[in-house]
Structure 1
């Protein structure tokens, strides 16, 4: 079921499915909730899944001015406060994961568990091939699938695609620039997930995992930046295990040994 809520200047569209503890799904850049097609029903069987589309994405109209991760994080905080009114589990992919971790830092009171799929906190984390893609024009064949989805649902009309495209790709070229040390302030139990052939380097992913206290790591084999689409059964199993259960005690902990010793 889809609906709109006004969040400051943003007329934000969101989809809701299921009942139970609220779980917010955050899509990637230049994408829509369609990217969660393989996750919505399995997650909604256990949670109240709430999937907003950010300003200028999907059914949510664009807002005048540039786009930034900080602006989108502020939008999300207002959305959770107004549309949900309670702490939520957050599952973010790509740009949505960046917004998710920034929300966990800015508003720890709103985030219960946090899943970051294909996340980067530094613009230098992209593999060189993606850095080149981010410099392509709006009519490039590489972006045709994103453009088709946008044009099918955007209330701004097909002619607005180049405007949103420039806002998003300009942001990609300049952001994020979040120091790894800042991630030490994340208090939500966190799972970091990545495809083994992602556009985010594995080295950066491991650095993020190590920077977040007691984070857990999942590398999806044979998958790229869209692991949730390519390996949905595996990704959904890992997501539900993490979201539905407390952390399991391990026999020979090393990284989490101090936490285990004081448990």
Structure 2
């Protein structure tokens, strides 16, 4: 199998995500507290992270987007990062409703969505269900149909990234003991 190297993944696994600017608040969505940070001014861009991650995974992108004139909304999905979780199974429908609740709270009628992995699926689900609210979707590592995926192979880098996610989850989550329930 081809070996790939990714200096950013190696840095992430050892150093963690780049910190977001120190701000953020919560909104209650369906009985769960969902954390989000808002940065900059201009056209709105929602950053939707992947499974086991948090909004800090976009730490490099937030300042770049703000400097480019965008209003950035970085959300910790329910059960991830600083957001709570009521134990119900995760679904893209629920993640979509959470994003809409944040947009409504901020009075944002329309936003672009940048999504990675589960965040990519959330962005696509949002665009499909509410096209009038989505200016565009940039998605990567989206896997809505697992039939085309390569067999999973645990590598040292992936193992280190999972350890990093566990460490970040323990630091940020209101219920760090639930990390293993996410996988």
**Displacement, 1:141?**
6.0
TM-superposed CA distance for 1:29, in Å, is 0.6
Larger radius of gyration: 1
State the TM-score, normalized to the length of structure 1.
0.56
Q: Which runs of 5+ in 2 are unaligned?
A: 1-22
The number of residue pairs the alignment matches comes to 157
How far off its partner does 1:68 sit?
1.6
Pick aligned residue for 2:177 from 146, 159, 167: 159
- Give the unaligned 5+ runs of structure 1: 134-139, 170-263
Q: Distance in 1 between matches of 2:24 and 2:126?
A: 23
* Matched residue, 1:26: 48
SS class of match (1:129): coil
Residue 15 of structure 1: aligned partner: 37
Counterpart for residue 99 of structure 1: 122
CA distance in 2, matches of 1:115, 1:65: 28
| TM-score (normalised: structure 2) | 0.79
Contact 2:117 2:143 survives alignment (8 Å)? yes
Aligned residue among 67, 81, 85 for 1:58: 81
Identify if the C-alpha distance between structure 1 residues 90 and 143 changes in structure 2 by more than 3 Å, giving closer, same or farther: same
Moved over 3 A (4+): none
1:66 positional shift: 1.1
User: Residues of 1 paired with 2:132 and 2:59: CA distance?
Assistant: 29
Residue aligned with 1:155, SS? coil
Alignment of 1:135-214 (within 5 A): 143-156=162-175, 158-163=176-181, 165=182, 169=183
Q: CA deviation at 1:17?
A: 1.0
